[in-house]
Amino acid sequence: MHWGWYDRTRRRVRDLSCGAYRIYLDFEVRRVWCRSCQAVKRERLSFLADGALHTKRFAYYVGRRCRSATIKDIAAELHLGWDAVKELEKQYMRAQLARAGTPGPKVIGIDEVSIRKGHTYRIVVSDLIRSRPIWFGGEDRSETSMAKFYDWLGKKKAAGIRLAVMDMWKPFRNVTATHAPQAAILFDKFHIMRHLGEALDKVRKSEYARLSGKQRHFIKGQKYTLLSHRENLTLEGRQALKTLLAANKRLNTAYLLKESFGQLWGYEREGWARRFFENWRAALKWQRLQPYEQFAEMIDRHWNGIAAYCKPENKVSLGFVEGLNNKIRVIQRRAYGLRDAEYLRLKILTCMLPAL
């Protein structure tokens, strides 16, 4: 209960501009004596942002502009300090998260993100049904860091997870099996195909080392031509690929095997998928493709996490996690690196949320 007012002061805060003119609001702010707690308290004004130097709608405007521009550009445009723009954007992103609410995911995607050189990683967990990241943290990609997500989520919501999509990193599997044993584990297609691409590149390097003279000319500089899908190549790239495959039988075999392996995710029954894999593996016989044989052994060891995609209830979009990684790299590149861990966390968690 308040009794009258204690004192009052005048305050000037910045509001949305009108054309080329900056608008400021000049008003009185009162302090009141609270009889219940026996203390003097300032009245709370809902239209003010935290810090009380700007209105909330101005802070939200700054936040919306920062979604598509750098802090430096917005600071110059609005005649604000760099730190002031950053703080207003953080307030905006916290409001976005508050509106999105606490997640209760059914299908999650787990991946690690490099935040600086020297193998410094953080873990990103996404809700694949709602297509947005929900957690970013940890100190590395260890089991201890992964367990922090499930501690944050809570036992009740962890019990509601039915599918976890991840790469073949063992600590992620172990922690998920411990905290969400009911969840099926599905290995990400893009990480598996990346391993196959690395095997193809090893074959290319071995062929380059084996050959000499003019025979090397067809292989040199064709790494990304081999790793790309044919439909994604330019006309010049397709011609170079055609010449390369015609000149080297072993690379031709390796390339065709790489292109055909993607069919594995098109089967709706595990038995059919297994038969396809066994036939693909049998095609390696007498081909002297050692990296491919090692890749096939890896797939055999992790088969359960790949075959889980054959079940109809597990047919989820597998490209979101990789797309989110690309978006995070764009955020880091646009800022030339981010040293503020809290700011990076907010940028990642709100990058897929609608604007306020």
pLDDT tens figures, 78-109: 999 999 999 999 999 999 999 998 888 999 99
Non-local (6+) Cβ contacts of 54 within 8 A are 13, 14, 15, 48, 62, 88
Q: Which helix (H) or strand (E) holds 163?
A: strand 163-166
In the chain, which ranges are continuous DSSP H helix? 56-66, 71-78, 82-100, 143-153, 155-158, 170-179, 189-210, 223-227, 235-247, 249-261, 270-282, 290-301, 303-307, 320-334, 341-350
Q: Confidence band (pLDDT; 50, 70, 90) for 143? A: very high
Which long-range contacts link 4-13 to residues 24+ away (Cβ below 8 Å)?
Answer: 4/32, 4/33, 5/30, 5/31, 5/32, 5/33, 6/30, 6/31, 6/32, 6/33, 6/40, 7/31, 11/52, 13/48, 13/52, 13/53, 13/54, 13/55
Asked whether the predicted pLDDT for residue 116 surpasses 80, the reply is no
Non-local (6+) Cβ contacts of 107 within 8 A are 127, 128, 129, 161, 162, 163, 164, 165, 316
- Percent of the chain whose pLDDT exceeds 90: 48
- Largest Cα separation within the chain, whole Å, is 95
Phi, psi of 95 (to 5 degrees): -65, -35
Query: CA 248, 206, 264 angle in degrees (round to 5)?
Result: 75
In this prediction, residue 4 carries a pLDDT of 64
Average pLDDT, the chain: 88
In this prediction, residue 336 carries a pLDDT of 65
pTM value is 0.82
- Residue that wins the pLDDT comparison between 274 and 37: 274
Lowest mean pLDDT among 58-67, 86-95, 113-122: 113-122
For residues 126 and 188, what is the distance between their CA atoms, to the nearest angstrom? 13
C-beta neighbour count of 333 within 10 angstroms: 9
Asked whether the predicted pLDDT for residue 2 surpasses 70, the reply is no
Q: Nearest Cα to 234, choosing from 224, 244, 245?
A: 224
Non-local (6+) Cβ contacts of 200 within 8 A are 226, 227, 254, 255, 258, 291
Lowest mean pLDDT among 113-127, 156-170, 247-261: 113-127
For residues 281 and 339, what is the distance between their CA atoms, to the nearest angstrom? 46
In this prediction, residue 3 carries a pLDDT of 55
Stretch 302-316: mean pLDDT, rounded?
87
Total number of residues shown for the chain? 356
Q: Confidence band (pLDDT; 50, 70, 90) for 245? A: confident
In this prediction, residue 337 carries a pLDDT of 60
For residue 285, what is the DSSP state?
A: T
Stretch 301-310: mean pLDDT, rounded?
90
Tokens standing for residue 318: 């597998």
pLDDT tens figures, 173-194: 999 999 999 999 999 888 899 9
C-beta neighbour count of 29 within 10 angstroms: 16
Q: Nearest Cα to 127, choosing from 147, 111, 105, 155?
A: 105
Asked whether the beta carbons of 287 and 256 are under 8 A apart, the reply is: no
In this prediction, residue 16 carries a pLDDT of 93
pLDDT tens figures, 219-244: 888 888 888 888 888 888 888 888 88
